[in-house]
Every structure is written in C-alpha cells, then in structure tokens.
A and B are shown apart, each in its own frame.
Chain A
Amino acid sequence: MFANIFGDYLVKNGKITKEQFVYVMEEQKRTRVKLGLIAVSEKMITDKQADEINRKQAVMDKRFGDIAVELGYLRPEQVTKLLSLQGNPYMVFIQTITDKGYMLLKDLEDALISFQQENNFSDADIEAIKSGDVDRIIPVYLPEVPALTKELILVAVRTINRLISTDISIQKAEFVSSYSANAIAMQHMKGDCNVTTGFSGNQYGLAGMLTIANTYAGEEFDKLELDALDSISEFINIINGLFATSLSYQRVETELLPPVFAENVVTLNGEKQFCVVPLTIMGNAFSLIVSTEEILQF
C-alpha cells in the first residue's frame, strides 16, 4: 500500500511517469511473495495448514500470521521472521525505482519530505505509511473519525485487500451530511446500532466500482448495470458480516438487510454527518461511504 500512495504522489508531481509507476507496481507484485508461501517453503507449516489458514482468512477479519498463531501453527517470533523475509515495502519500492534509474535516492528522499509537509503528516504518520501495513496506514488517513466508523473502514479495506486486490490507495476521509453519487451499492444493518456501508462512483468515474464488480463475480462487465451492482452488494455483504461479527463480540447485535442500489446519480442524505473515504483500486477511483449512527436514505 505504501507504493500505491507514494507512487501516486510521484506521478502527480511529475517525478516519474505513469508507465514507470505501472512497471514498479508490477515488479513489486512479482517479488513480494505471500506470507503463507514463505512459511511453507521455510517448512514452518505444511501445505495443508496454509490452506486451512487461507480458508479461515476468507471468513475472518484477521491476518494470515495472527490466525496461524491462534491455531498454534506458528509462534509470534516466527511470524516476525516471516515478515522480515517478505521484505520491507518501503525498501523494495526505493530499490526498484533507483535500480531502474527512474530517480536518484536523494531526489526520492526529498520527494518524501515534500509529501509529508504537503499532507501535514507527523514523523510517526510517515513511519506508519512506510510500513506498508494496512492497519497502521488507514488510521493516518482517518484522523478525526470516531472509533466505530474507523473499525468498519478498516474491516472494509482489509477485505478489499484480501478478496479483491492489494493494489489499493487511500486519501483523507471527509464528513458530509449529503453526498451525490453517480451510482451506488449499499447495505444497511439495523439493531443495537444502525449502519450503512456503501461503495459509489465519484468525480473520477465508475472504473473503481467496475473493478470490484468484475473481480468479485469473476465477470467482465463493461458498464455499471444492475448485475454489476449486485456483485458489489454481495461483496459489501461480506464486509458487513465481518463487521457484525466484530460487533457481536462487543455484545452489540445487528441484522443485515437486503442490499439497495442505484444505477444513476443519487443524493444520499443523513440527519447526522457520515464518512466518505476516497479509495483507488488498481488505479481506479471509487468512494467508500460509511455511517455507523443511522441508516442513510436517497
């Protein structure tokens, strides 16, 4: 995720070209091996155990290493070793760009300082972004967001990361009481707390929505028709299910309601303010809409 965020900044500021960025991202994907594969090749776990962890990960909002420790297949220090073998995303990114001669190390460091200043990030924020760890990066972009909303956004981004693509970037969240979307898929939850989770197109278009619809359903929709919105709704259903599980551990009971979607421009209204998080997936923008205080209506 570090490469997506900082790489996007470098492209926008003319430091590298879009083509160079795409090359760096592909190179990162090629070299970044999954934790499970490393664990198996290091003979820390068996193939069967890795499959079991992967299956559990599909229905649990937890990381590979955490599940492996819970099942007693790995010790925490083994997970730390695996993460170090997997490589630091910041170092991998810097190395790929300088090896290809796209930028000098000094220029990259200067660009990182400008990125920090322009976004008013603290040194701790920059360290979190450089870690590449979704759980550390997301809170940096949600500074004033209430805890429950932050938790739902984290569940959503982790689930996108796990089931759709790790190629995700985020911008700072905003709070609004009205939001105009050029197509939306959402699902409400009611009970001890009322929640709306939705994905919408934004001023950059519908490409991010299509990416989610196509990847989740394994189809090739070329426009955001009802079937594509249905696919996105099913994906939201999984996010909300995981969030409902997390709430039930806190003795907060909720019920998932059938999905709601609109193919055209709609305005979403809340009596209170709700959160809109701009995200990019595989280079395509969309917005995550979250309310944990009320059910939002068109």
Chain B
Amino acid sequence: MAKILIVDDSRTSRKILRGILENNGYEVAGEATNGEEGVKLFEELNPDVVTMDITMPVMDGVSALKEIMKLNANAKVIMVTAAGQKGNVVEALKAGAYEFVTKPFEEDVICDLLKKATN
C-alpha cells in the first residue's frame, strides 16, 4: 500500500484529501500543516508521494518542495493549488515537482496522478 504525506495548512483540505486517499486504498502516512513540518515529516516517514499545498504560512509549498528535492532528488511531490497560480506552478515544476492538481479536488484526477506516481 503506497504511503502518502499530506502537507496543507487547511484542516478542510487535509480532511477531504485524506477521505479520497483512504477510499482508494492509499495509506496516509502523516499530515503536516506547513512546509517546515512537511520537510521534517518527509525525512521521518519516507513517504512514496507527498501532496504539497502551495500557499501556506511559516514555509510555503514551493520552498518546502526545494528542501525535499535536496533530501531526495527522486521524491514524488504533487503540488496542490487554487486556479490562477501559474507562476508558482511553473516554478514548482522547474524545481522538480512531479505534477500539480487544482482545487477543488476531483477524485478521478488525484487517483490517476497517484497511480502514475506510484507505478
């Protein structure tokens, strides 16, 4: 069972995402509420995939992605963003993000991406 780390400052988003992941047979290895916690949990838990919100306090998602890529250049990080964040998404993809998804979450889209990322 693939292990996923959710990094998002919103409890609502974490809950919706956890529901989608668990309904589709993924294990939520952990949840972090900002980028800094996310990097720490990535080191501790060694997840198969990270879902990373972009807009977060303390450390934003793009900065956290860069830290994670320094730790493991093969890390699979899927960026989570609202529409209209083109600049951030491009920066994240250049920094090594695996893919991105746009809110509101669509179960099919997330599952297709995870399937690709974990195969």
Contacts and interface: CB of A to CB of B under 8 A. Distances in A.
A265 to B, nearest CB: 23
Contacts of A245: 83-84
A257 B10 CA distance: 13
A185 to B, nearest CB: 11
Contact of A241 (B10, B84, B108): B84
B112 to A, nearest CB: 12
Contact of A253 (B16, B55, B87, B103): B87
Given A59-B83, A244-B82, A248-B86, A234 B55 contact: no
A76 interface: no
Interface of B: 9-13, 15-16, 55-57, 81-88, 102-104, 106, 108-109
Interface in A41-75: 55, 58-60
Chain A interface mostly: helix
Contacts, number: 73
Given A55-B106, A240-B82, A255 B87 contact: yes
Interface residues of A, number: 31
B10 A256 contact: no
Given A58-B104, A238-B103, A255 B88 contact: yes
Interface stretch (A31-39, A169-177, A225-233, A266-274): A225-233
Given A58-B104, A59-B104, A241-B103, A258 B9 contact: yes
Contacts of B87: 253, 255
15 contacts: A55-B109, A58-B106, A59-B103, A227-B11, A230-B10, A231-B12, A237-B82, A241-B102, A242-B83, A245-B83, A245-B84, A255-B88, A256-B84, A258-B55, A259-B10
Nearest to A163: B104
A247 interface: yes
A241 B12 contact: no
A108 interface: no
A256 B82 contact: yes
B65 to A, nearest CB: 16
Contacts of B11: 227, 230
A2 interface: no
